[in-house]
């Protein structure tokens, strides 16, 4: 029997919540008769998270574990889980119990109903105002730039068709923009589901306000990479050409002005004595550098091979 659902859970210092979370997931899966696997990715935890994953997997064959050699971040954890997932539908959730496993059947039904991606929307949140207001602003800007009408890009509770996660590469801090990556890779059917957001029961949040600044930088990065990763010369070459031509035209004008002044008997400053000449020279040099950068980037792009940005130390219950 094929696996219907893969649940991918990044784990970072969540030793207290793991037993409750895995039991909850199993209870939901068994109640609905799903064939499933739960992939727990230990992202360099410094507590006993990995030992607990090992112990839990001994009594539950549906649990599978990956242990990173160090902390690589949520994006790397999700990417590793996506590569291992075999379920027809892949569902991601956080390990802190703020995402409810009771949402799994509804998410599964939406994907099997024809959607490529379903993103959770924590309409009612149990977070302080210092997190909710920046989050609303962040989501608004992301909707405007991406054109994807989701209310909560940061929600960790999402569902995907297996084909989607096998055709995207999540790196850096791009986990917030997986729906955007999916859309750009040919999976435009993106939906949204209001999900329950539970108050944190154990521990504390691992994310601070800096994630919103990083989020905007990541959005700019992912937008740039999407538009120019296959054609970097279109970006660097255009800027380089404009800069070079600007410097060349200014220099040519200064020379003509010098020649005309001399022909008319005017006293004209030397070209190299004018500040505008040095600005033109800088523009020419920058233009050449940008053009060469674009050329080198084209060569790198044509020979680039994707390599995993993380190292896995141990695996549990994987047969491949």
HEC letters along the chain = CCCCEEEEEEECCCCCCHHHHHHHHHHHHHHHCCCEEEEEEECCCCCCHHHHHHHHHHHCCCEEEEEECCCCCHHHHHHHHHHHCCCCEEEECCCCCCECHHHHHHHHHHHHCCCCEEEEECCCCCCCHHHHHHHHHHHHHHHHHHCCCCCCCCCCCEEEEHHHHCCCCCCCCHHHHHHHHHHHCCCCCEEEEECCECCCCCCCCCCCCHHHHHHHHHHHHHHHHHHHCCCHHHHHHHHHHHHHHHHHHHHHHHHHHHHHHHHCCCCCCCHHHCHHHHHHHHHHHHHHHHHHHHHHHHHHHHHCCCCCCCCEEEEECCCC
Of 20, 30, 22, whose CA–CA distance to 64 is shortest?
A: 22
State how far the Cα of 295 lies from the Cα of 314, in Å rounded to an integer.
Answer: 41
Partner residues linked to 314 by β-bridges: 67
Higher pLDDT, 58 or 147: 58
Weakest mean pLDDT among 50-59, 106-115, 180-189: 180-189
Instruction: Quote the pLDDT of residue 216.
Output: 66
Tell me the pLDDT band of 320, cut-offs 50, 70 and 90.
Answer: low
Handedness of CA 85, 90, 95, 101 (dihedral sign): negative
- Report, as an integer, the average pLDDT of 108-132: 82
- For 14, 15, 39, 49, 69, the CA distances from 54, given in Å and listed in that order, are 14, 12, 12, 9, 16
Contact (CB, 8 A) for 41 and 77: yes
What average pLDDT does the segment 183-212 reach? Answer: 75
Reply yes or no on whether the pLDDT at 137 is more than 70: yes
Answer whether residue 126 shows pLDDT above 70: no
pLDDT for the residue 63:
96
Quick one: pLDDT at residue 305? 44
Q: Residues 105-120: what's their mean pLDDT? A: 96
**Looking at residue 62, what is its pLDDT?**
95
What are 215-272's pLDDT values in tens digits? 666 767 666 766 666 677 777 888 888 998 998 898 888 888 878 777 776 666 776 7
Per-residue pLDDT, 208: 54
pLDDT by residue (tens digit) across 63-83? Answer: 999 999 999 989 999 999 999
Q: pLDDT digits over 188-202, tens only?
A: 999 999 998 776 666
Closest CA to 154 of 128, 130, 173, 129: 173
Q: Is the distance from CB of 90 to CB of 160 less than 8 angstroms?
A: yes
pLDDT value at position 78?
95
Query: Of 45-49, 141-145, 158-162, where does mean pLDDT reach its minimum?
Result: 141-145
Reported as a single tens digit per residue, the pLDDT across 283-309 is 989 988 988 887 787 666 555 545 556
The answer on pLDDT for 141 being more than 70 is yes
Query: What does the pLDDT average to over 276-285?
Result: 88
Mean pLDDT of the chain: 84
Whether the per-residue pLDDT at 24 is higher than 80: the answer is yes
* Percent share of the chain, pLDDT over 90: 43
Give the Cβ contact number of residue 151 at 10 Å: 17
Q: Model confidence at 311, in pLDDT bands (50, 70, 90)? A: confident
User: Which pLDDT score is estimated for 132?
Assistant: 63
Domain 5-228 of CATH type 3.40.50.11030: no
């Amino acid at each position: 029997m094929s696996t219907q659902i893969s649940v991918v859970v990044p784990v970072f210092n969540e030793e207290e919540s793991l037993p409750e979370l895995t039991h909850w997931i199993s209870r939901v899966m068994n109640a609905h008769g799903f064939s499933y696997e739960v992939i727990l990715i230990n992202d360099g935890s410094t507590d006993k998270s990995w030992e607990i994953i090992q112990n839990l997997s001994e009594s539950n064959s549906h649990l599978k574990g990956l242990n990173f050699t160090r902390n690589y971040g949520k994006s790397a954890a999700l990417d590793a889980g996506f590569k291992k997932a075999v379920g027809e539908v892949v569902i991601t959730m956080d390990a802190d119990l703020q995402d409810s496993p009771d949402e799994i059947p509804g998410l599964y039904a939406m994907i099997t109903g024809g959607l490529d991606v379903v993103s959770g929307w924590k309409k009612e949140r149990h977070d302080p105002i210092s997190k909710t207001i920046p989050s609303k602003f962040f989501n608004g800007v992301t909707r405007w730039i991406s054109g994807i009408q989701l209310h909560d890009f940061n929600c960790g509770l999402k569902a995907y068709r297996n084909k989607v996660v096998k055709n995207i590469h999540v790196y850096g801090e791009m986990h917030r923009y997986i729906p955007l990556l999916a859309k750009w890779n040919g999976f435009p059917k993106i939906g949204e589901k209001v999900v329950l957001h539970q108050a944190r029961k154990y521990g504390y949040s691992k994310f601070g306000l800096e994630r919103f600044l990083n989020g905007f930088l990541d959005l700019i990065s992912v937008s740039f990479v999407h538009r120019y990763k296959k054609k970097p010369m279109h970006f660097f070459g255009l800027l380089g050409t404009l800069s070079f031509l600007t410097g060349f035209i200014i220099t040519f004008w200064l020379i003509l002005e010098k020649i005309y002044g001399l022909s008319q008997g005017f006293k004209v400053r030397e070209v190299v004595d004018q500040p505008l000449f040095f600005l033109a020279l800088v523009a020419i040099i920058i233009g050449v550098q940008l053009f060469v950068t674009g050329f080198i980037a084209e060569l790198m792009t044509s020979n680039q091979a994707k390599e995993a940005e993380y190292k896995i130390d141990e695996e549990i219950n994987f047969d491949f």
